Structures are given as structure tokens and as C-alpha cells.
Amino acid sequence: MTNKMKIGLLAVPANVLALLFTITAIFPIVWMVYTSLKTNPEFSLSLFALPSQPTLSNYENAFRVGNLSSALFSSVFNTVLTIPLIVLGSFILGYFFARYNFRGKTTIRFVLLVGMLIPIHSLLVPLFLQFKWFGMLDTRFTLIIPYVAFNLSLTTFLFQSFIRDIPTEIEEAAYIDGSTTDYALFRIIFPICLPMVSTAVILNVLHTWNELPFAFILNRSAELFTLPIWLTYFSGQYTTDYTGKIAGLVITSLPIVILYLFFSNKIMNGMSAGAVKG
Amino acid sequence: MKIVSKRRKGIVSKALILFLVSAFILTACGKSDDSNTPSASGGSGGGDKITISIAHTNVTDDPGAKLFRETLQKFKDAHPNVEIREEAVAHDLYRSKMTTLGASGELPDVFLANGSMLIDYAPKGLVAEWDDLLEQDKEWKDGFLQDAFEDFRIKGKIYGVATQTLSVHLIFYNEEIFKQVGIHAFPETWKDFEDAIVKLKDAGYIPIAMGNKANVPVGSTLFSTLADRVTGTQWFNGLTTGESKFTDPEFIEALKKIQELKNIGAFNPDINSIDEGQRDPLYFNKKAAMTVSGAWYVGNLIQNAPEDVLNNTKIAILPSTGGKGEAAAVAGGGGWSYAINAKLTDAKKATAVELVKTFTNDEYAAAMKKINGFPARKLTDDGSTATAPLTQEYYNLMNRVQLTPIYDIRLAPATVEVIYRGIQSLLAGAASPEDIAKQAQDSLGK
Amino acid sequence: MRENLFKLRVSQVLKYLVPIYLVYAFAVILPLILSFVYSFFDDYGTSFSGWAPYSKLLQDSDFWLSFKNNMILVLICVAGQVGIAFIIASLLMSKVLKLRGIHRRAIFLPVVLAPVVTGYLWTLFYNYQFGILNWFVKLFGGDPVLWLDDPAKAIYLVSIPLVWQYVGLYLIIFLAGMQNISKEIYDAVEIDGANWRQKTMFITFPLLKNVTQVALVLCISGTMKTFDHIFVMTGGGPGRSTMVMAQYSYNNAFLMTKLGYASTVSIGMIVLSGAVVLLVSKLIGGKTDSD
């Protein structure tokens, strides 16, 4: 039973380190929540202490800063519209890259790779100009196209790597039976890709939800402003409402954390079906 | 989010195409009035509707921002034929937004601009001169404080109307701590100042707490004033004409003074890694005897400092260094101003000017002062009757000092970046005064 | 037969690839071309200057310092983000770890936070007077350490939050990838007496090669353009010690209003990052990824 002993030797440090990591990973959320219950005078005396008299005043205030509900609506609107587009587009591209060989594939893959290398800020002015020429500034839909385009690359590469590991037999059989590409894509491969779909959804929701530069450059009207813009309203030129901002962060992060916990179950359910048992 | 995981047939890809096409069309046609750039709807006057776009940063929940928004609303109510279009983002995002708008030829009709933005815009002919407009309304013009326009004067012409006038340099010190280590009055000579620092340090206090992560705090609130003490304002003014250079011994001497302060342990050792928010616990917990900041910190102390710290806090300014500058002077001024687009003409321009006057008249100034703002206008209420003692002390001080240039407002941004970043390196012990001086001179490109 | 089945038809190109690429070209490629044109203009974007901005870039010590900093970050993040994630993923697949469900959920939580939040929090951890790290140092009798203030070590310290935040990202990428490894293979080798290390080395790793490759590409490209964390934590300071290329470009554009030169910096940055990514995927992937 040397195997068992080896596992035992490894288990202690591995568990301790994993536990430490987990604690540091949870701490920020805990810190944010309890700090949001403090007042600014209390916060500026001690950055880590627990609130002596927890108060919800920061949350009450949050509704007076800017327009929280409209920011929430804009963020949800952008996210709900972009995520399906990103996932579908990337899934399709990923499929073709993984399965098909064609002339120019290296080139168009490289073109897609470039999208992951561009520092967002360097495209603000060009993109603004371009949207101005096309009359696309400052509408409900303005951010959809940039959000889809800028998240396409990363997600495509994820899907490609995932699909490449899926055996081709089922599709081959289906194609021989006269299946259409649509059928193979969405009825055969897509269901197998669900764990990666969950991953893609989480990642892209995060990117879209937290995106700031495009949101404040391409839109002007206050009613189109998203949550990250709303969060900047807690700092003036000379002063910052720290605890108010942290309460704001709790409000804006909450939907994402919940969404993540939901999707992490999706991944895990898939896991226990397909992989080693505990 | 369930949509994604549902299995779909061929309609999906068609839906995808349709979706994208419609996104394009919707985006492109969503707003038809986007061609409404400043020049396009130039005022023909008469009964036509006039559209004025205004960019500002008054989006927060603080009283000053609220006052601005309320006043803007009143203006809208009083002018039904004027449509106001706001480009309002928080201060942190404002510069990026304006740079983008400026580079795209989309500068709004009226906008907030600080001195350094005007240095960029004025030579390109993007902003209108105020000189004649000011002359046309003597009463308005004469109501401004003496130095209110200095930050916005480029080659003799005024390009902005000050939103405020304040000191960016004040030393807030805890009198109790000073007494405890045996200092009974704030030092009046440089030597006494340094002695006091050493005394405080030996007693276990942080002499001066600052949060310089952003590299602007030390540069703006301390160095601008310190440099003026050493070089004198005349030297600074000579920079634009080329009469003086950053490599002059005066400027190097000023940098050496900062280095000297660092060497005797004047600052918290973590000065370069903390922001101003993380500086507060040092001063509020009485670990630090002094902190340097601008007029706005008065309000912050009143709001957030523990009562005993607030009660013991007094305001002072840097003592004379024995250099060429005045000792009764602090870096300060308007900093920010209202500028109007050079493209405006006729009725539209008149409306824009009227709008700016709404935010710079005596009524607005008095309202600002009531909520602890720092208006740029002479008021019958000179602040000496303010309720908070610290505010009173501030105004008493302001009545006896003159204002000197704020580096980040008066110099080109590239030069400011070199000097302020250089000072940060200096404080980290990673650069010499001579190097910084040379880089600063090089950045002028002359 | 396979060749015929997976041969791209014109109808497929038109139906699937063209619409997606049109969107991409419109929002990414077109502005990039504009930016490229801009990069040949002088500092302030007013007059065409040919190759002059690029020769300036080649001699710009601040830019190369930023590049060096980016490379340090890439090395640390590849080892840290991808490496640690891989180890945790394979541990999660074995019986070694307890509380697997909690770990898996918790380790991803930092990914959910906005980078500015992570950056700010870590400045609090690193805080000299009140920080948690120095609290531990004092607990063990040491003198408090000046963390981010030391220009010599600041770049290494700012990399830690980057690693910490994104381990979870690569973890779920690996976990998703591991689903393709059938349970039977594991069971079979377990019967043969393989231990965790052997399973990892000989089964998990080779089967995750594709996923690992893409994880590396993501990690390198993400780190090459890293901005928010460092902007919040140090702003590139003290001095220029933690300046990275993305912030250098940003500072040029929005702090110093040198839009022309900022574009030159960005293009230089894209070229260098592309070169590094291609080089690495050639090195590890051989033919699979680049074909």
C-alpha cells in the first residue's frame, strides 16, 4: 500500500495550500461586504476592522447616486444581448477551426489572434471616429458589436481546443447519413460542448459586465450608462466616498457571483458524469 | 441565459445572422440627430431651437455637484428654446473622454477644462478667447478674484473662466503632537522646519504623511509651492519664453530640497505606494503629525476625522527656504475653468456664454461658499464668519497669501508627467535631481 | 472519407464564417488599421512623419523598460496562473484534496472581481502600516517590510495579484477540458497501480495538450496587455519601475495627449506580443496549433 502512503504525504501540504488559497479567494468578498456596512470616518481610521455599528446607510445612499436602476438595466441589456452572440459565433468558428482544414486558415486564425493582443485603450479614438462616421454612437445597441467582436477571439480559441479533443466518429456517421452542417453543429457537437459553453458564458459575462472604456466613450446619454460607469460616480476630483463605493461594488458584483455559482454547478454536474469519481 | 444551452436546429445560424444584421441597422439608425456637431447647427438665432452640448464632471452625490445640476436644470426651465445635451462623466474618466472627443473634432460647445487641457487646445484653435466677452460685461469680470484667470491665460489671451479659486498647498498639523514633542509654534524658517521634522521623527511620529501613489499629490500640493519658494515665480514664467530652463540651478535646488526632506525622514516610508485614502488612517490615528493637501482637505477633515484630531488640527504653509520666492505664497488658482468651443457663433455662442455666466455669477458663488466650495469671485462674505473653525482659518490664511503656479495646471502634460514621476523616483531613491531636471528640459522639445 | 466530410464548402463559408468575420473586421480590424495609420503621424497626430515615430520607439528606453516588465510578468503568470491551475485541477481530479467542491467554487471567485477591485485590495494587503502581510511578518517577529515602495521588487509583487486572480480562470478551463478524458482510462491505470503523479504526467497532461496550449496563448496575450491591476496598484510607479506597455500607451494618449505616438506604442506592443505568442505556440505546439 505504498500508494496510499504517497497520497498521505502529498495530501497534507496540498490540502493546507489549497485551503490557504481558498481563504484568500473568499476574503475579498467578505471584506467588501462588511466594509460596506461601515461609515467613512470608521473606514479612514481602520481599513480592515469590522464595523463597530453596522449600518445600511451606504446602500440607502447608493440609490441616490446617479441612476442605479437605469445602469443596472443597461448592463443587463448589453450582457443578455451579447453573450448568446459571442457564444454562438465563437462556437461556430471554433468548430470550423478544429475540424476543417482549408487554405488561409492560418491567416484568418492569426487575424483573430491579433484581437487578443490589442490594448483596448489604443482603439478608443479610432473606434469613436468610426462609429461617428457610421452614425452609430450613443444608442442602446452601440456597445453590442464591439463587445461581441472583442470577446470573439478568446472564446473561439477555447472552443477550438475543446472541440479538437472530441472524437469525430459521431459526426462522420451523421454526415454520411446526410446530416446538415447545422445538425452536426447544434445537435451533435453543441451538447457535448456544454461544459465549455458554461465556461464561455461566465467569462464573457464577466468581461461584458465589467467593461468600462467603450461604455463611457461610445455613449453619451446618461440613460445608456452601465454599472462600471455608475461606480465611478463615487469619486469626485478631490474626495472619494470609499464605503459608498464598496457598497456599490457589492451591488454590482452580486449578480455575477450568483450567476457563477449557478454555472459552476453546471460544470460540476458535467464533471461527475464524465470523469473520475471522488 | 438558458437560451444558450437549449439545443436548436438550423434556425440558430439564421437567427444569428439576422441578429447581427439587425444590431447593425438598429445601431446605425437608432439616433438620427448624431450629425448635430457644434458646427452643423450653428445658431441662426431667432425662434429656432438652440442645442448646446456641455461636458462636465458633476455626477457625484456631493453638494457641489448637486448645486451644479440644480442650476443647470433651472437654466433649462428658464430657456425652453434651448436644448442642453450633457456629456457628463466622473472626474476620473473625464480626461480620456475629452481627449477622444477633441481628437475626433467633437468637442462640446461648453466644457470644463483645466489649464493643461487649454495648453493643448488653444494652439489648435479649438477654444474661444474670453477676453472680449469679459470686457463686454465689466461687472461680471470685475467680480472675479485677482488671480482667477492666471491658469487659463496662454500667450496673453484668456481661454477659460475659473470654476473656483483655491490653494492646493496647505500643511495640516496636529498641534497637540507638536506641543508634546516641544514645538510650540509652527516653524518659520527652513532650518526650524527640518529640526521640527527630526524631533517628531525621533519621538516616533511620522512627520509628514502623504499618499503619493498617483504621483500628483507630492508634485502638486508640496512641490509646486516648494519650488516657488526656491526659484521664485519669475523663473517659472520664464519657462514659456525660454529665459529659464529646468536645468537651471534654482530648479535643481528645489528638487534637492525634496530629496533633503526625504533623507531626514520627513515622510512615511510607504509614501509612494499608498493613495490619499490610505494616508488618512495615519493622520487620523495620530501616527502622523502633519499632512500636506489642498483646500478640499478641510472639508474632508471636518467630515471624517475623529473629533479630537479635528480640534487639534491647524493650518500652516511651508516656511521660507531662503530662496527667491515669496514666503507668503501658496500654489493655487482656478485649476479648472469653463471653456467654449471656438466654432460657436452668434446666438449659439451668446447662449453658451450665458450658460457659463450662470455658473460663475455672484449668486452661484454665494451658493458654492455656503456648501464649503471655493468660488473664484469676491464676495461680501469673505469666509471669516464660517461656522467651522478650520474653514475660518483657511480663509484667514487665504487673505494674506498670494497664489503661485500649480505645475500640473500650467505646464504641458508631458512635462508634468516627467517631473512628477521623477519626484516619485527621487522619493524612492531611484533618481537624482539632475537627471529629472534634464529629462524635464528634454520634454519641452527645445 | 474524412477529407471529404470536413472539406469546407463555399456555402458554409458564406453562411457561417463571413458574417462573423464581418462583425469582427468592423469593430476590431478597421479601427486597428486606423490606429496603424495614426502610428505614422507625429506625437500629436497632426502631420505624417513616415517611419520617424518607429525609429523613436526603437530608441525609447521607457518603452523597452515596459516591454521588459511585461516579459517578467509573462514568465511569472505562465508559471503561476497556468502552472498552479494545472496542479490544482489535477489534484481536484484525484482523491488527495478534501473539500473539493468548496475549493473549486472559491478559487474562481477572484476572477469574478473587477481588476480594479483586486488591485485596490492588494494595495491594502501590501500596506506598510496596516497591511495583512506585514501583520504576519510582525507576528513572526520580523520588521515590517516596504513592499510596493521598492522599485527593485515592485514588478514581482504586482504580479502576485495577477496570478492570484486568474488561477481560477485556467482552473475551469482545465476542468472543462478534463471532461474529455474518460473515466475508464483513469480506472484502468488505477488498477495498474498508477499514482497521482503518474496519472498526471502520463494521462492528464498529454490529453490536455490542446487545452494547455490555448491556456498559454490566453495567458501570454492577456498578460502582455495587462493594464487595470497595475494602474490601480502602483500607476506604473514608483517612478517607472512597474510601467507596462499598455499603460505606457495609455499615458501617452490620455495623460500626455500624444495620440500619434500612443498608436505607435500600441502597434509596437501588438507586434511584440504577437511575436511572443507565435514563438511560444511554435515551441510547445509544433504543427498542431499553427496549421
Is residue C57, in this structure, part of any structural domain at all?
no
A126-161 pLDDT tens trace: 999 999 999 999 999 999 999 999 999 999 999 998
Q: Are B333 and B409 in contact (CB under 8 A)?
A: yes
Is residue C242, in this structure, part of any structural domain at all?
yes
Q: Do A149 and C28 touch (CB under 8 A)?
A: yes
Q: If you measure CA to CA, which chain C residue comes closest to A180?
A: C12
Q: Do C249 and A165 touch (CB under 8 A)?
A: no
User: Which chain B residues have a beta carbon less than 8 Å from that of A185?
Assistant: 13
A positions 62-101 inside 8 Å of C (CB): 89, 92-93, 96, 99-101
pLDDT of residue B12: 54
Mutation site for C-interface testing, chosen from A7, A122, A197 by largest number of C Cβ within 10 Å: A122
**Per-residue tens of pLDDT for chain B, all 446 residues:** 333 333 444 455 565 666 666 666 666 555 444 444 444 444 444 457 899 999 999 999 889 999 999 999 999 999 999 999 999 999 999 999 999 998 888 999 999 999 999 998 998 899 999 999 999 999 999 999 988 999 999 999 999 999 999 999 999 999 999 999 999 999 999 999 999 999 999 999 999 999 999 999 999 999 999 999 999 999 999 998 889 999 999 999 999 999 999 999 999 999 999 999 999 999 999 999 999 999 999 999 999 999 999 999 999 999 999 999 999 999 999 889 999 999 999 899 999 999 999 999 999 999 998 888 899 998 886 666 667 899 989 999 998 999 999 999 999 999 999 999 999 999 999 999 999 999 999 998 75
Q: What's the total number of domains in chain C?
A: 1
Check if B183 contacts C (Cβ < 8 Å).
no
**C-alpha grid cell for residue A157?**
480559441
User: Which chain A residues have a beta carbon less than 8 Å from that of B39?
Assistant: none
A164-217 pLDDT tens trace: 888 888 888 888 888 888 888 888 899 888 888 988 998 899 999 999 999 999
**C-alpha grid cell for residue B102?**
477633441
Check if A126 contacts B (Cβ < 8 Å).
no
Q: If you measure CA to CA, which chain B residue comes closest to C158?
A: B273
Q: How far is A9 from chain B (nearest CA, A)?
A: 41
User: Which chain C residues have a beta carbon less than 8 Å from that of A211?
Assistant: none
Is residue C48, in this structure, part of any structural domain at all?
no
pLDDT of residue B20: 63
Q: Do A44 and B303 touch (CB under 8 A)?
A: no
Is residue C272, in this structure, part of any structural domain at all?
yes
Q: What's the total number of domains in chain A?
A: 1
pLDDT band at C195; cut points 50, 70, 90: confident
Is residue A17, in this structure, part of any structural domain at all?
no
CATH of residue A168? 1.10.3720.10
Q: How far is B25 from chain C (nearest CA, A)?
A: 13
Interface size A-C, in CB pairs within 8 Å, comes to 278
Check if C50 contacts A (Cβ < 8 Å).
no
Which of C15, C129, C256 has the CB atom closest to B270's CB atom? C129
pTM, rounded to two decimals: 0.90
Q: Are B143 and B364 in contact (CB under 8 A)?
A: no
C34-64 pLDDT tens trace: 999 999 998 877 788 899 999 999 999 999 9
What is the domain extent for residue A86? 66-234
Is residue C37, in this structure, part of any structural domain at all?
no
User: Which chain C residues have a beta carbon less than 8 Å from that of A82?
Assistant: none
Q: How far is B153 from chain C (nearest CA, A)?
A: 20
User: Which chain C residues have a beta carbon less than 8 Å from that of B427?
Assistant: 238
User: Which chain A residues have a beta carbon less than 8 Å from that of C262?
Assistant: 122
**C-alpha grid cell for residue A235?**
469619486
| pLDDT, average across residues A225-230 | 95
Tell me which residue of B110, B151, B139 sits closest to B127, measured CA to CA. Answer: B110
3-state SS, chain B, equals CHHHHCCCCCHHHHHHHHHHHHHHHHHHHHCCHHHCCCCCCCCCCCCCCEEEEEEECCCCCCHHHHHHHHHHHHHHHHCCCEEEEEEECCHHHHHHHHHHHHHCCCCCCEEEEEHHHHHHHHHHCCECCCHHHHHHCHHHHHCECCCCCHHHEECCEECCEECCCEECCEEEEEHHHHHHCCCCCCCCEHHHHHHHHHHHHHCCCEEEECCCCCCHHHHHHHHHHHHHHHHCHHHHHHHHHCCCCCCCHHHHHHHHHHHHHHHCCCECCCCCCCCHHHHHHHHHCCCEEEEEECCHHHHHHHHHCCHHHHHHEEEECCCECCCCCCCCEEEEECCEEEEEECCCCHHHHHHHHHHHHHCCCHHHHHHHHHCCCCCCECCCCCCCCCCCHHHHHHHHHHCCCEEECCHHHHCCHHHHHHHHHHHHHHHCCCCCHHHHHHHHHHHCCC
**All domains of chain B in start order, with CATH:** 50-165+334-370 (3.40.190.10), 167-332+389-443 (3.40.190.10)
Q: Do B97 and A40 touch (CB under 8 A)?
A: no
User: Which chain C residues have a beta carbon less than 8 Å from that of B103?
Assistant: 45, 259
A positions 250-269 inside 8 Å of B (CB): 259, 266
Q: Do C218 and A271 touch (CB under 8 A)?
A: no
The position carrying cell 484525484 is C94
In terms of pLDDT, which residue wins out, C12 or B190?
A: B190
Chains contacting B (3+ CB pairs below 8 angstroms): A, C
Is residue A159, in this structure, part of any structural domain at all?
yes
Is residue C186, in this structure, part of any structural domain at all?
yes
Q: If you measure CA to CA, which chain A residue comes closest to C266?
A: A122
Query: Who's near C32: CB < 8 A, 6+ residues apart?
Result: A114, A118, A123, A126, C270
C positions 173-232 inside 8 Å of A (CB): 173, 175-183, 186-187, 193, 195-196, 207, 210-211, 213-214, 217-218, 221-222, 224-225, 227
Q: Do A44 and B277 touch (CB under 8 A)?
A: yes
Most confident of A253-262, B44-53, C14-23: C14-23
Instruction: Decide if pLDDT at A9 tops 60.
Output: yes
Q: Do C256 and B424 touch (CB under 8 A)?
A: no
Reply yes or no: is the peptide bond before residue A167 cis, omega within 30 of 0.
Answer: no
C118-165 pLDDT tens trace: 999 999 999 998 888 999 999 998 899 999 999 999 999 999 999 999
CATH of residue C270? 1.10.3720.10
What is the domain extent for residue C163? 63-290
User: Which chain A residues have a beta carbon less than 8 Å from that of B337?
Assistant: none
User: Which chain A residues have a beta carbon less than 8 Å from that of C180?
Assistant: 162, 165-166, 274
In terms of pLDDT, which residue wins out, A276 or C183?
A: C183
